[in-house]
Amino acid sequence: MLADSFRNFADWAVGTSPLYERLARGVDLHPLDVTDEDDVRWLRALVWPEHATRHRLLRSAIAVAREDPPELRRGDAVEVLPSVLDGIPASRPVCLFDTQMRYQLDEERDAELRETVAAAAADRELHWLSGHAAAERDNALVLEWFDGERSRSLVAYEQHGKWVEWLL
């Protein structure tokens, strides 16, 4: 159902807005390709067997991604991000999105990423939705919105989607 809703929304957005253009690009140290069966088996292995809902969601997400696979680049996000942004016309607004990547960065590397994003936002319209560990919440992440000038926390969430708490 979620995949159908997403697909319907995407069809609506693409079909009715002359401003919408999807330029999906991903950066990962070890990118997984949903068109590769070995990579799909690995993704399925990462979901606990008793989590039937998460398995259904993963199957739906794979189906959607296979219809229009993103461009994937192998590399360190902090190092590769500037070249990814350089490949997008400066007149196009950009939305960066990560959910559970920054917890893997030490403080220095996270600061470098934030500086890279802020520097890019000085030259173009750039928004960043980023999930990061919430020190004040047990086993929670906070999705933060950076609009090029300031950041604000939008939502706290459990990493596997068990709960969401809006912070606005």
What is the H or E stretch that residue 42 is in? helix 37-45
Alpha-carbon gap, residue 147 to 143, rounded angstroms: 13
For the record, the structure tokens of 36 come out as 């590769």
Amino acid at 90: A
Indicate the SS3 state at residue 48.
Answer: coil
Residue closest to 118 by CA, chosen among 130, 136, 106 = 130
Cβ-based neighbours of 11, under 8 Å, separated by 6 or more: none
- pLDDT tens sequence across 75-131: 999 999 999 999 888 888 888 988 788 888 899 999 999 999 999 999 889 999 888
> Which of the pair, 61 or 100, is modelled with greater confidence?
61
| Residue-level pLDDT at 23 | 64
pTM: 0.74
What is the H or E stretch that residue 108 is in? helix 107-123
Alpha-carbon gap, residue 164 to 167, rounded angstroms: 10
> Which of the pair, 148 or 119, is modelled with greater confidence?
119
| Residue-level pLDDT at 21 | 55
73 phi/psi in degrees, rounded to 5: -115, 135
Residue closest to 71 by CA, chosen among 38, 28, 10 = 28
